[in-house]
Amino acid sequence: MNIKITGSGSYIPDIKVSNLDFLNHVFLNEDGTPFAHSNEIVAKKFKEITGIEERRYASTDLQTSDIAFFASEKAIKSANIDPETLDYIIFAHNFGNVKHGAIQGDAVPSLAARVKQKLKIKNPKCVAYDVLFGCPGWIEGVIQAQAFIKAGMATKCLVIGAETLSRVVDVHDRDSMIYSDGAGATIIEKTNDEGGILSHLSATFANDEADYLFFGKSYNKNLDKDVRYIKMHGRKIYEFALTEVPKAMKECLEQSGIAISDVKKVLIHQANEKMDEAIVQRFYKLYNQEMPDKIMPMSIHELGNSSVATVPTLFDLLINKKLENQEINKGDVIIFASVGAGMNINAIVYRM
């Protein structure tokens, strides 16, 4: 028995927001003072560091559960299954549904239950629940789905990662330029086909690191101090990720028994191009090797950082040949890896 991704789908919102769209924003320092540099300089440096040129925002009539439903429909169609045969719907997100212009997230009922309702699944034994695990949430959902299947509790699971981060950002914080909206979904299934999940690893570093990503007040002191927005200690996250993620990837790969020379792709959370490149470079240096060309597909340039949606969306684009100069073939070994709020890290070694 092998446990594989048998179908995938993604929803990429239509609204494109380029770096130039931020030129009229009033960016402030944490203490509320005006930012020292012009927005033109801010945008230029932002592109150099993150690699992001544009990002996608969901239209105002759509919420996180809506775009997750769209991705899920595609995944179910791709896997060619009856949705009534799903045993679990595992939905990774961080902020619930946040209506455009609202200041409160809504996760009652769970977003997984809402997707189940939209899919018109009548089977009550299809259990739907949400996962809060930061940006690594979709990978963690896949790991949980595998555990259910190995335990004999399931044969098919729908695992979703979706977010509308554009609605929880402080427009006066230049970090708001990083975030975007999107959804990715996959069917995880017991199959007699070769390949599938070979190994996995998860970890939570919460002693000193729990508050590296947090909810905080706006940098604009004139706004309601009780309204919270996503905030981060970027330098601390960068240093943490460069230290811990390569080690986790190496441990996961060693558990699989696969040689690093057999790894064809590394699908890492699309957080920051420079950070992602540095992580993968350090991973290869642990084996005294240079990072191979084309080993790390990227979508961040056009899609930004959509948190839990980045890895499943990247996978969907890759297998559907929608990434320029990138391809994956049956039998290829890939590594999924992510880092995010918690601070959480996880990885999967997977054979196509």
**How would you list the strands of the sheet with 333-340, edge to edge?**
196-204, 344-351, 333-340, 263-268
Q: Which of 192, 217, 239 is the last residue of a domain?
A: 192
d(CA 260, CA 283): 10
| SS3 per residue for the chain | CEEEEEEEEEECCCEEEEHHHHCCCCCECCCCCECCCCHHHHHHHHHHHHCCCEEEECCCCCCHHHHHHHHHHHHHHHHCCCHHHCCEEEEECCCCECCCCCCCCECCCCHHHHHHHHCCCCCCCCEEEEECCCCCHHHHHHHHHHHHHHCCCCCEEEEEEEEEHHHCCCCCCHHHHCECEEEEEEEEEEECCCCEEEEEEEEECCCCCCCCEEEEECCCCCCCCCCEEEEECHHHHHHHHHHHHHHHHHHHHHHHCCCHHHEEEEEECCCCHHHHHHHHHHHHHCCCCCCCCCCCCCCHHHHCECHHHHHHHHHHHHHCCCCCCCCCCCCCEEEEEEEECCCEEEEEEEEC
Residue 278: the pLDDT is 97
Residue 22: the pLDDT is 92
| One domain, residues 164 and 274 | no
Residues in the chain: 352
The pLDDT tens digits for 7-42 are 999 999 999 999 999 998 899 999 999 888 888 998
Structure tokens of 4? 């594989």
| One domain, residues 279 and 151 | no
Residue 297: the pLDDT is 97
- Residues 181-210 have a mean pLDDT of 96
Boundaries of domain holding 245:
198-351
The enclosing domain of 232 has a CATH number of: 3.40.47.10
- Residues 72-78 have a mean pLDDT of 98
| One domain, residues 187 and 107 | yes
Residue 114: the pLDDT is 98
Residue 34: the pLDDT is 87
**Among 86-100, 181-195, 217-231, the least confident range:** 217-231
Q: Residue 1 — very low, low, confident or very high, per pLDDT cuts 50/70/90? A: confident
Number of domains in the chain: 2
| One domain, residues 180 and 215 | no
| One domain, residues 167 and 60 | yes
Residue 101: the pLDDT is 85
Q: Which of 192, 219, 251 is the last residue of a domain?
A: 192
| One domain, residues 243 and 130 | no
| One domain, residues 240 and 153 | no
| One domain, residues 188 and 211 | no
Contact by Cβ (8 Å): 55, 179: yes
| One domain, residues 59 and 128 | yes
Q: Which of 167, 192, 217 is the last residue of a domain?
A: 192
| One domain, residues 136 and 12 | yes
| One domain, residues 180 and 225 | no
Residue 87: the pLDDT is 98
In the predicted structure, residue 226 carries a pLDDT above the cut 90: no
d(CA 171, CA 283): 35
The pLDDT tens digits for 120-174 are 999 999 999 999 999 999 999 999 999 999 999 999 999 999 999 999 999 999 9
| One domain, residues 216 and 175 | no
